[in-house]
Amino acid sequence: MFSMEQYTKELHKNIFNFFKNLQHLSINGSCLFLSFRNLPLTTCSSLNLKKLCVGVKSFEDCLALLDGRLKELTTFILEISNMNDKVSTVYNMDDLPNLKCFSLICDCSGKQYDVKIVPLLRRMFNLEELTLNIIIEDRTRFIDGTHLKNEVFVRMPQLYKFTFHISTETKLQRLVHGLSSDDIQKTFSNIGYEQVACVINYCYRSAECHIFSLPPVFDTLHSIGNTFPSIVFSYVTSLQVHDEVPFKHEIFLRSHKYQTILPLPKLQHLVHGLSSDDIQKTFSNIGYQQVACVINYCYRSAECHIFSLPPVFDTLHSIGNTFPPIVFSYVTSLQVHDDVPFKHEFFLRVAKFFPSLQELNVLNIKSESQISDNIASTDNQLSSIVEYPHLISLHLGLSHTDYYEQFLNNTRTHLPRLTQLKVNYKRLTFVTENFTRDATRLNCTNVKRLLIREQLVHSKDFYIYFPVVTSFLHPLD
């Protein structure tokens, strides 16, 4: 069997030997990440190639591709599988004057972002179009407009198009005060970016901040809570909701109506609790008005998502109860997470602003019923059924039993296309009354994969309840 290095070498030899004048090359495949480390400079070397779209195993592979072997490259679309590698070779780190368009997808730590990603971007001083889809964990500060202006844009005077979804997570103790989405968003307004949204989710000891350009074009959104913006996430197919405040029925109606680069710093790293407005102002200060920001504070960490508007990403992780009223048309995968209980209203908002949602992950251990329903509008909100017409995968896991009731009770939520359900078996049996309750039967009818930890002999009522199930054994995350 070929190693990935051997595979890369053979792939290069066959492609460039048969296509001598190749100018555009895309190597696609969800599991195909090539490796160029320890290979000679002649591997993937071309004087004609102008556009390359590729996935690589490590950051070192990126450095190898930009070390001079592709001198005429003007467009580079890149996904990096692993940022944890240690660079073992000394590469040419000269500036990249011919590069006009760059797109990057990766997950990294705060340190890796600062010492690897930022210096890489600063080499691209003639860049005209930049797309970033980054999840950043354990950074001391959220990514905002001020940071981007001072550390990145200052080296890109030709830049005219910036599309992004950046999610940052931090520990709550690192924040001086609770930043709002408006705080982050103002940092973009200050730099002239108006089409930007921000979602911040505070959960337990951490916070997450999602910032993204509008309209949203991503397909996955992780860890949003009860509060999120009124934006339609048309492309989101996978969603995770997580909050310490109980989810109410209304939030699931919202999630049906509305569908981020994610810095995820630890809370103790933050000087004060930044808001989305704090981050957004940093972008306004540098003339970026089309920018949004979402910050999610959860337990000991915080996540900050910043993105250009309209958002064009398809995945959004870790937003909480507060997110901007922006339609995320492209988000198909979403995670909601909060230390504050999600209300029904929150799920109404999710339904409203994420119209293309296909995958939803809910993380919240706080009871939805902890919040009193004493406002006048609550009765009307509770009478509204949350509709998720495209949702095919739902992950409830160890979330509070109230959210099992919220989603499986068809008088509260309709899931006509649900085919995969990931749950805790005890919570499932409790809510369905040992698979005999009619109110929770309809949303289970089409489930083909029931992912549970326990290996059990199921009752006759179980198989009547799940008439088409073909798989029901899987460890919970």
pLDDT per position as a tens digit, 150-174: 999 999 999 999 989 999 988 877 6
Model pLDDT, residue 9: 60
Question: Out of 205-209, 299-303, 445-449, which region has the weakest mean confidence (pLDDT)?
Answer: 299-303
pLDDT bucket at 470, cuts 50 / 70 / 90: confident
| Rounded-to-integer distance, Cα 393 and Cα 238, Å | 8
Whether the predicted pLDDT of 390 surpasses 50: yes
User: What does the pLDDT average to over 350-359?
Assistant: 96
| Rounded-to-integer distance, Cα 179 and Cα 282, Å | 13
- 472 assigned to some structural domain: no
pLDDT tens, position by position, 64-91: 899 988 999 999 999 999 998 788 788 8
- 476 assigned to some structural domain: no
Which of 90, 105, 120 represents a domain boundary (last residue)? 105
- 343 assigned to some structural domain: yes
Whether the predicted pLDDT of 93 surpasses 90: yes
Which of 70, 89, 105 represents a domain boundary (last residue)? 105
Question: Domain containing 11: what range?
Answer: 1-105
Q: What is the DSSP string of 96-160?
A: -TT--EEEEEEEEEHHHIIIIIHHHHHT-TT--EEEEEEEEES-SS---HHHHHHHTGGG-TT--
Q: Are residues 56 and 133 in the same domain?
A: no
Question: Out of 41-50, 55-64, 174-183, 409-418, which region has the weakest mean confidence (pLDDT)?
Answer: 174-183
Model pLDDT, residue 258: 54
| Rounded-to-integer distance, Cα 277 and Cα 300, Å | 21
- 471 assigned to some structural domain: no
- 336 assigned to some structural domain: yes
pLDDT bucket at 5, cuts 50 / 70 / 90: low
| Torsion angles phi and psi, residue 94, rounded to 5 | -65, 160
Question: Out of 90-104, 111-125, 301-315, which region has the weakest mean confidence (pLDDT)?
Answer: 301-315
- 477 assigned to some structural domain: no
Q: Are residues 214 and 331 in the same domain?
A: yes
Whether the predicted pLDDT of 58 surpasses 80: yes
User: What does the pLDDT average to over 39-50?
Assistant: 77
Q: Are residues 173 and 93 in the same domain?
A: no
| Rounded-to-integer distance, Cα 342 and Cα 203, Å | 12
Model pLDDT, residue 261: 43
Q: Are strands 291-308 and 161-171 parallel, antiparallel or unpaired?
A: antiparallel
Q: Are residues 268 and 155 in the same domain?
A: yes
Amino acid at 192: G
User: What does the pLDDT average to over 93-105?
Assistant: 95
Q: Are residues 120 and 57 in the same domain?
A: no
Which residue did the predictor score with more confidence, 214 or 351? 351
Q: Are residues 398 and 439 in the same domain?
A: yes
- Average of per-residue pLDDT values in the chain: 82
pLDDT bucket at 442, cuts 50 / 70 / 90: very high
Structure tokens at 412: 């509260």
Which of 60, 79, 105 represents a domain boundary (last residue)? 105
Q: Are residues 157 and 38 in the same domain?
A: no
Q: Are residues 328 and 201 in the same domain?
A: yes
Q: What one-character DSSP code corresponds to residue 79?
A: E
Q: Are residues 324 and 455 in the same domain?
A: yes
Whether the predicted pLDDT of 385 surpasses 90: yes
User: What does the pLDDT average to over 12-17?
Assistant: 67
Structure tokens at 398: 């160890």
Model pLDDT, residue 265: 44
- 473 assigned to some structural domain: no
User: What does the pLDDT average to over 284-309?
Assistant: 75
**Tally of structural domains, the chain:** 2
Q: Are residues 386 and 452 in the same domain?
A: yes
Structure tokens at 415: 């899931």
Q: Are residues 204 and 263 in the same domain?
A: yes
Q: Are residues 266 and 120 in the same domain?
A: yes
Model pLDDT, residue 29: 59
pTM: 0.66
Model pLDDT, residue 248: 74
Q: Please identify which residue in the block is written with the tokens 């919040």.
A: 371
pLDDT bucket at 118, cuts 50 / 70 / 90: very high
Whether the predicted pLDDT of 113 surpasses 80: yes
- 360 assigned to some structural domain: yes
Model pLDDT, residue 347: 96
Helical residues (DSSP H) of 321-446, grouped into ranges: 344-353, 378-383, 401-408, 425-431
pLDDT tens, position by position, 305-341: 888 888 888 888 888 888 888 899 999 999 998 888 9
